[in-house]
Amino acid sequence: MVQLTCKNLSVGYEGKEILHNINFSINQGDYLCIVGENGSGKSTLMKTILGLHSPMSGKIITENGLASTKIGYLPQQTVVQRDFPASVKEIVISGCQSRCGFRPFYNRAEKQLAISNMKKMGIENLASRCYRELSGGQQQRVLLARALCATQKMLLLDEPVAGLDPKVTEEMYEIISSLNKNDGITIIMITHDVRAALKYATHILHIGDDVFFGTKNQYLCHKFGKEYQSKGMIDNG
């Protein structure tokens, strides 16, 4: 069941085109990893899907009840954001803002959703803690809980393990995989970790001089996948 289609999509910013004529579709329950070099347009593509940038040409089509307001987003954190002086609970429940409409307060269901997602991320004991006092891994769990308050359909994650140590990185990958496999949430994740992409993803979008989209097995047979294999950068297991 198709949730999102990019059709002849070109994206960029400040009038400069970065990606030209991109075509792919995402089905409900897919796990797509977007890989490629820095500056190739991965984050710009993600922001365009979210409606934060307008397409330069082409279309983004959402289906089966998916709207940009029903997509959870975990962006790359800035230094200022890491030092945000709010409690964990306040940040998590802010993910419900798109549900509130014109209401100036959160209702009981939204408060319960925030509590449920904190429990799912294993951070309910941190609810009263100040966000900026947390470790990097704890902060990412908070932001993931916040994103889950916005959606039960699709999550867009921009380098969710950046700056985390190897143990916490693997824990975060497993959490994301569980949300995909057990909760049926569609995942679109930007990553530089091709090994992890091939371990967890169902599909790969590789952005470079050429663009590849397909299953991870198709990727291994493509020149991009063969290049990574020749460099010993990925594990076929």
pLDDT-derived band at 233 (thresholds 50, 70, 90) equals low
Tell me, yes or no, whether 136 and 157 share the same domain: no
State the average pLDDT over residues 45-58.
Answer: 93
Measured at the alpha carbon of residue 219, what is the angle toward residues 24 and 56, in degrees to the nearest 5? 30
CATH of the domain at 51: 3.40.50.300
Whether residue 30 is contained in a domain is answered as yes
State the average pLDDT over residues 205-218.
Answer: 92
Whether residue 176 is contained in a domain is answered as yes
Distance CA 65, CA 3 (A): 8
- Identify the domain boundary among 100, 128, 152: 152
pLDDT-derived band at 232 (thresholds 50, 70, 90) equals low
Whether residue 123 is contained in a domain is answered as yes
Whether residue 33 is contained in a domain is answered as yes
The answer, yes or no, to whether residue 211 has pLDDT greater than 60, is yes
Tell me, yes or no, whether 148 and 190 share the same domain: no
Tell me, yes or no, whether 199 and 233 share the same domain: yes
Which pLDDT does position 235 carry in this prediction? 47
The answer, yes or no, to whether residue 190 has pLDDT greater than 80, is yes
Domains identified in the chain, total number: 2
pLDDT-derived band at 213 (thresholds 50, 70, 90) equals very high
Which pLDDT does position 236 carry in this prediction? 43
Whether residue 71 is contained in a domain is answered as no
Which of 196 and 79 is assigned the larger pLDDT?
196
Tell me, yes or no, whether 175 and 210 share the same domain: yes
Whether residue 27 is contained in a domain is answered as yes
Which pLDDT does position 229 carry in this prediction? 81
Which pLDDT does position 237 carry in this prediction? 39
- Identify the domain boundary among 152, 183, 198: 152
Tell me, yes or no, whether 158 and 235 share the same domain: yes
Whether residue 221 is contained in a domain is answered as no
Tell me, yes or no, whether 202 and 157 share the same domain: yes
57-62, strands of its sheet edge to edge: 16-27, 2-13, 57-62
Tell me, yes or no, whether 129 and 190 share the same domain: no
* Residue 43 near residue 53 (C-beta atoms within 8 A): no
Distance CA 156, CA 49 (A): 9
Mean pLDDT for the chain? Answer: 90
State the average pLDDT over residues 47-74.
Answer: 87
Which of 14 and 116 is assigned the larger pLDDT?
116
pLDDT-derived band at 68 (thresholds 50, 70, 90) equals low
Which pLDDT does position 38 carry in this prediction? 84
pLDDT digits (tens, 9 = 90+) for 106-161: 899 999 999 999 999 999 999 999 999 999 999 999 999 999 998 889 999 999 99
Whether residue 143 is contained in a domain is answered as yes
Tell me, yes or no, whether 13 and 85 share the same domain: no
Which of 82 and 213 is assigned the larger pLDDT?
213
* Residue range of the domain that includes 22: 1-66+153-216+226-237
Tell me, yes or no, whether 23 and 41 share the same domain: yes
Tell me, yes or no, whether 164 and 237 share the same domain: yes
Say how many CA atoms lie within 13 Å of 177 toward its Cβ. 13
Q: Which residues contact 5 (CB under 8 A, 6 or more apart)?
A: 24, 25, 26, 59, 60, 61, 63
C-alpha pair distances (Å), 29 with each of 152, 157, 208: 11, 15, 26
Which pLDDT does position 78 carry in this prediction? 67
Tell me, yes or no, whether 94 and 47 share the same domain: no
Using alpha carbons, select from 115, 96, 113 the residue that is nearest to residue 105: 96
- Identify the domain boundary among 100, 135, 152: 152
Tell me, yes or no, whether 20 and 130 share the same domain: no
